[in-house]
Chains A and B, each alone.
Chain A
Amino acid sequence: MQRYIILRIAQSVVALLVISAIVFALARVTGDPVAILLPEDASPKVVEQIRTKWGLDQPIYVQYAKYIGNFVTGDFGEAWAYGGVPITELIARRLPNTIYLASFAWIVSAGIALPIGVLVAVKKDTVFDWTGKIIALIGQSAPSFAIGLLLMWVFAVILGWLPTSGNDAGFKSILLPGIALGYYNVAAVMRLTRSSMLEVLDTEYVKLARIKGMPERKVIWKHCFRNALIVPFTYMGLIGAVLLTGSVVIETVFVWPGLGDLAIDAIRNRDFPVIQAVVILFATFYIFINLLVDVMYAYLNPRIRYN
């Protein structure tokens, strides 16, 4: 196990390096940031001064080497579009909002998908099963921003129950973006839960429990659900990473000041250091959570061992 973890960490470092190189190169393909960030009537002299200050006058491999050198020491550089604010400061301000939103969306996903998954498995081929499938299908097929705008229109504009956007109305603020973000994953988790539950419901020990007269509620939630949880649980771990890194559109629609919103602004402004920092941070989340899920999976199911 230890060897496996070390190997995965080494693989993760290589993956991060590759990702950083790709992001570094791609960001520069999109055009000259100086032309965007300086006023149109800035003179060539001023343009050159800024270009030199940001190191854009140097060969790209020199820029990359310097960037990586600073990055490993925790120095992400300065945000050009924010007048030289340290990127670590920007990320520190925004990251808690993104984690909060992703966590809530995760709870929404789990809170909707797991009970429905159990219900449709227990009530297989009934109206409950079909209704659950339709709910899941809508979540899977509608883009999250469309769901978000629809929710905003109904609950904020028409009913006036919730705020349209922002994060300044306490718990009410998180509801719409959290549901819009979490709903997308409901279908997959629900179907996994359903199939896993059906498999467990068909096992001998469950049949025995029923024959022995154990109450149905106890059979389902104590014996079936716990054993059926391993597969959806693994998937939900991965969803955690997806929610953390995939909130870009939702944060923009709901004016949620998180990392996704920051990433969109950075892309718009060609603020290379911010784009690089956010993408690498997202990649790190993803890789780390994958690793964590793998390790926990092994602990949860002792029959699984990695070679």
Chain B
Amino acid sequence: MNKVASLRASLCGVFALALLFALACGAPTEQAAPSAPAAADTQAQQAAPDATAAPAQQQQAAPTATTALAQPAGMSDASAGGAAPTAAPEPTEAPAAELGAPVQADLRVAITPPYAENLLGWRVGGTNQGMLQPMQEALFQRDYQTWEARPMLAESWSVSPDGKEWNIKLRENVPFHHEEDTFGVSDFVFSFQLWSHPEAKTGFGDFWHQILGPDSDDQRSYDVDALGSAPTVTEVSDSEMVWNMNRPELWIPFYASEATTDPLIYSLDYWEKVGEGEYGLNPVGTGPWKFVNYEQGARLEYERAFDDHWRINPDFDTLTFFFAEEDLTRVAMLRAKEADIAEIPRELQGEIVNAGFAITQSTLPAFMVWIGIGGQYLEDRYDPNDPNTNVLVRRAMNHAIDREALNEAFFDNKMELMANTGWHPTDPSFDPAWEIPAYDPDASRQLLAEAGYTDGSGPNIEFMAGKLVGVPELTEIAVPIISWLEEVGFEVDAQIGEFQPIRTRYKAREMNGVLWTHRTGFWPAGRNMRVYFVSPTLAGAVYMYEDPFTEDLFTKWQSSVDEAERLQLMKDAGQYMYDQSATMPLGFLFAEFGINPEVIASYSVNNS
């Protein structure tokens, strides 16, 4: 699966686990209603100089606790107030149940195992850390309706006018689970050192380096004597610090949030007392759940950490994750009521519903599904003979496929169709005028003719498809897509199997003439730009579209501290990529889980 990183990592893991984590925790009753259509740049707004966030206690106050037939979710109020995702399919209605005392003390969750298991999250990185989020917190959290940054362990923050100095006030008197230490600046710095450690497998490790400053190499040192102090962080007091960057960066509340999974907070005090080995066996954090037991490959057990946690009081006494690789095993666990929540593949969801269980889904999508058009290395590897570099051919590809038929046949119409890869309607830089490419084979043939393919033999292309966790349909949808492309004249060499060869090729920037189905996480447009649509020199990761024009816009966006300018730059980049048909957008998919309505009475969960 997937198992796989997607493997061990794909974003599925984190989406799944954090979603479940949200389910496992009590709902914050007073969470501030999300404002406006915010999104990516709302964070810039949030981060604007002198903007100070309200104390989290006011925003996400007391736990509902009472759940029960529990109201387990942590995001219900937010979702109630937030803008519904466009065309979001309705979740299956669970049988109505009255709220009351919890019917049981334990919440049991059956999921596919993470790609890599280690209780020191920085050693396995990315989505594998999702299973640790019940136990560990980050500086910031994200509003899953509006993308706004919200306080977590950072109580308030402001950024200097040049965007290089972040003054962060940390929440005081937040104890770690070993209860001999409270969170402070040294814990943050220590954690930061772990995220950017040379052996760390965190996805943002290199990003931290970019922003650290001229002596950034020192940050990756692992000198025990230096733990807890760093030249780029100035300790104002134990609960206040100034974080210095070598370039403007307004998205710190995003990158240092639990949404990105990397920046979890570790206790320096505990580390110094017990050492790394013991920390890895009996980890601690500041979260609402405390580590109890872990059997590798089988289960991870938590219990409620505090009687009154500063952020969320869980509705259950214990939380157990069971790692079950086989889909049918998870179905059996749910049906036998050994699990209250289980990850159920789409093709088995009907059976669960027929048996009296319910399917719940995230408030926002968890996945973005699209087809990459390789070979658009418009600088150093530009090949004019590659059909993929011709915008007419790319438009022809986009009009050749029937997205609605795909949605109906493979996704039970649960996919929210996408107009421009990387831009969701909730993102402020999204343009409502963008249209989902229509299925029009005649237009497609006409475009190919205009591109010079007039003799009936269309461009030769390769089509690759491989399975990824969360969206196993990636290989299945390839079959009709190839058929539609051939119907309008493309000559397709298909390779369907594992995703690994695809990743190897795009990492090597050898995707000339290749199309491939891809599943990625759901992120703000700016983050998508950085990962998918810029070259290695700008710290891109999936090298499929490297255009000097958009790279220039991205560079300006990254260094700008003017909110309006940043928004316009991201809009321009999106418009350009839309006009250029840079990719073949397909749609957004939601995270879905089977639940036992006898235990979970109401649910409203985020996508992370």
Which A residues have a C-beta under 8 Å from some C-beta of B? 30-32, 35-47, 49-50, 53, 81-85, 90, 93-94, 149, 152-153, 156-157, 160, 163-168, 252-257, 261-262, 264-265, 268-270
Contacts and interface: CB of A to CB of B under 8 A. Distances in A.
Contact of A81 (B124, B126, B335, B542): B124
Interface in B158-179: none
B199 A39 contact: no
B206 A45 contact: yes
B324 A165 contact: yes
Given A40-B541, A82-B117, A257-B297, A149 B324 contact: no
A39 B329 contact: no
Interface stretch (B40-48, B450-458, B497-505): B497-505
Nearest to B355: A157
B204 interface: yes
Interface string B538-581: 01011000000000000000000000000000000000000000
B480 interface: no
Contacts of B231: none
Contact of B542 (A40, A50, A252): A40
B1 interface: yes
Given A41-B541, A82-B117, A252-B325, 19 more contacts: A32-B500, A35-B500, A36-B115, A38-B203, A40-B541, A41-B531, A42-B541, A50-B201, A53-B199, A82-B116, A83-B118, A153-B332, A157-B336, A165-B333, A255-B297, A255-B325, A261-B297, A261-B325, A265-B113
B324 A49 contact: no
B116 A44 contact: no
B299 interface: yes
A166 B5 CA distance: 24
B323 interface: yes
Contacts of A35: 500, 503-504, 507
A152 B332 contact: yes
Contacts of B202: 39
B2 interface: yes
Contacts of A45: 206
Nearest to A50: B201
Interface string B507-538: 10000000000001000000000110000100
Interface string B266-290: 0000000000000010000000000
In this complex, which of A164, A265, A269 has the most chain B Cβ atoms within 10 angstroms of its Cβ? A164
B424 interface: no
B500 A31 contact: yes
B468 to A, nearest CB: 10
14 contacts: A36-B4, A36-B500, A37-B8, A37-B201, A46-B205, A53-B199, A81-B115, A83-B118, A156-B338, A163-B338, A166-B322, A167-B295, A269-B4, A269-B115
Nearest to B540: A41
Contact of B531 (A40, A84, A164): A40
Interface string B1-34: 1111101110000000000000000000000000
B184 interface: no
Given A269-B4, A269-B115, A156 B124 contact: no
Interface in B298-318: 298-299
Contacts of B425: none
Contacts of A164: 329, 332-333, 336, 338
Given A37-B201, A166-B322, A252-B326, A93 B296 contact: yes
Contacts of A42: 125, 201, 203, 205-206, 541
B116 A269 contact: yes
Give the 9 A-B CB pairs with smallest separation, nearest first: A83-B123, A39-B203, A83-B118, A39-B126, A43-B206, A41-B541, A257-B298, A81-B116, A31-B500
A257 B296 contact: yes
B120 interface: yes
Nearest to B5: A36
B544 to A, nearest CB: 12
B522 to A, nearest CB: 14
A37 B123 CA distance: 11
A160 B115 contact: no
Interface of B: 1-5, 7-9, 113, 115-118, 120, 123-127, 198-199, 201-206, 280, 295-299, 322-326, 328-329, 332-333, 335-336, 338, 498, 500-501, 503-504, 507, 520, 530-531, 536, 539, 541-542
A257 to B, nearest CB: 4
B296 A41 contact: no
A152 B329 contact: yes
Contacts of A85: 118
Nearest to A156: B336
A160 B126 contact: no
B510 to A, nearest CB: 13
Nearest to A167: B298
Contact of B199 (A84, A168, A265): A84
A163 B203 CA distance: 38
In this complex, which of A31, A35, A156, A160 has the most chain B Cβ atoms within 10 angstroms of its Cβ? A35
A41 B204 contact: yes
A262 B322 CA distance: 15
Contact of B299 (A152, A168, A254): A168
A156 B332 contact: yes
In this complex, which of A38, A252, A255 has the most chain B Cβ atoms within 10 angstroms of its Cβ? A255
Nearest to B115: A269
A257 B295 contact: yes
B560 to A, nearest CB: 22
B7 A255 contact: no
A187 to B, nearest CB: 25
Contacts of A149: 328, 332
Nearest to A44: B536
In this complex, which of B201, B280, B335, B531 has the most chain A Cβ atoms within 10 angstroms of its Cβ? B201
Contacts of A269: 4, 7-8, 115-116
Given A43-B206, A82-B117, A152-B332, A268 B201 contact: no
Contacts of A47: 507
A49 B198 contact: yes
A37 B9 CA distance: 7
A215 B338 CA distance: 52
Nearest to A168: B299
Contacts of A156: 332, 336, 338
Contacts of A53: 198-199
Nearest to A164: B332
Given A40-B203, A83-B116, A255 B324 contact: yes
Nearest to A145: B326
A255 B322 contact: yes
A255 B298 contact: yes
B106 to A, nearest CB: 12
B332 A268 contact: no
Nearest to A45: B206
A256 B7 CA distance: 22
A3 to B, nearest CB: 44
Contacts of B504: 31-32, 35
Contacts of A168: 295, 298-299
Contacts of B542: 40
Contacts of A160: 336
B570 to A, nearest CB: 18
A46 B329 contact: no
A257 B299 CA distance: 9
A268 B1 contact: yes
A50 B198 CA distance: 8
In this complex, which of B204, B280, B326 has the most chain A Cβ atoms within 10 angstroms of its Cβ? B326
Contacts of A254: 329
A252 B539 CA distance: 38
B288 to A, nearest CB: 24
Contacts of B539: 43
B7 A36 contact: yes
Contacts of B8: 36-37, 81, 265, 268-269
A45 B536 CA distance: 10
Nearest to A39: B203
Nearest to A43: B206
